[in-house]
Amino acid sequence: MAEAPHQQATDAGLGCDWIAVDWGTTHLRAWAMDAGAQALDQASSADGMAGLAQDGFEPALIALIAPWLSSDRCVPVIACGMVGSRQGWVEAAYRATPCTALADETTRPQVADPRIAVHIAPGISQNSPADVMRGEETQIAGFLALNPRFDGVICLPGTHSKWVQVSAGEIVSFQTFMTGEMFATLSRHTVLRHSVTEGWDDAAFDAALSDALSRPERLAARLFTLRADGLLHGQPGGVARAKLSGALIGAELAAAKPYWLGMNIALIGAPDLCATYARALNTQGATPVTLDSAPMTRAGLAAIRKQIEDMP
């Protein structure tokens, strides 16, 4: 295959040592990394795991990272996330709790392209109550690489929010809440789609949060009230959106209280969502620290990369 001049120039300019990949259900994100674990470039696409057949993973990856590749050498590609699930590229079997966040081995899919050597990090499972994660363990490994003495709880808000108890460098237990996916499906696929629109109202969020924390069982009734308040009292769609978020996050905090009460809390996730969770936890007297998820993912993948290098 002839190299395009652009690729050669980019590669020469980058000096890319390895490639970090966060490959989830609906997204594919990659970073060209130097030997010191700094990102030199980034790229992303909508080629998430859910939209790919097994033979579609390598082409989707190459399409995204080709500008960073050089025909004269093979670079390691370290990936985490749903790419390692049974429906992914190759299944990377779960490690079971209690365990370190950092994987001690990876799974390697067969690849046709000689320029890459792909490693996929395993997820973590918990036998009882049954629970699983894929991708979050790498963010936690990155956080612990930077904060090796942390003892407490890590909350990773998102589509499937995770609360993870960490002690003595190990993941002791964790619990997943479908809060983000419930918010998305309720606001798009139910009668609430007529009542919940863009916009936000902090006071409405706070009130719904407080109500949900004190009466968490009333969720299904609270949801229909959002519709009826729109019909009868002209409640704005942004107020309804903030109330829906407050009702769902309030129920999550009520159920996750054994995790966070009196604990050190680190929030890892998208900055806007972390700010919402931090606001909610602040009302309960908890003061989490917040970290953006992307640098934690890169730090975790860099820790895996270092382990692979150190292997005999």
Type of residue at 136? E
Distance, CA of 119 to CA of 105 (rounded, Å) = 9
118 vs 248, beta carbon nearer a copy of itself = 248
Residues 191-210 that bind a copy of itself (CB under 8 A): 191
Per CB under 8 A, does 131 bind a copy of itself? yes
Pick one of 118, 252, 299, 300: the residue that binds a copy of itself (CB under 8 A). Answer: 252
- Min separation Cβ 196 and a copy of itself, Å: 13
- Strand 75-80 and strand 124-126: the pairing is unpaired
In angstroms, rounded to a whole number, what is the distance separating the alpha carbons of residues 81 and 21? 9
Is there binding between residue 189 and a copy of itself (CB under 8 A)? yes
Using CB under 8 A as the binding rule, whether residue 100 contacts a copy of itself is answered as no
Q: Which of 127, 285, 310, 312 binds a copy of itself (CB under 8 A)?
A: 127
Among residues 53, 112, 203, 221, which is the contact residue for a copy of itself, using CB under 8 A? 221
Q: Identity (one letter) of the amino acid at 152?
A: G
Task: Give yes or no for residue 223 binding a copy of itself (CB under 8 A).
Answer: yes
Burial class (CB in 10 A: 0-12, 13-18, 19+), 133: buried
Q: Provide, rounded to whole angstroms, the least separation between the CB of residue 188 and a copy of itself.
A: 8
- Residue of 236, 258, 240 lying closest to 248 (CA atoms): 240
Q: DSSP letter at 4?
A: P
Token duo for residue 209: 């949060």
Site for a copy of itself in 132-161 (CB under 8 A): 132, 160-161
- Burial string for 26-44 (b: 16+ CB within 10 Å, else e) reads ebbbbbbbeeebeeebebe
> Can you give the binding site for a copy of itself, defined by CB under 8 A?
86, 94, 125-127, 129-132, 160-161, 175-179, 181-182, 185-186, 188-191, 215-221, 223-225, 227-229, 231-233, 248, 251-252, 254-256
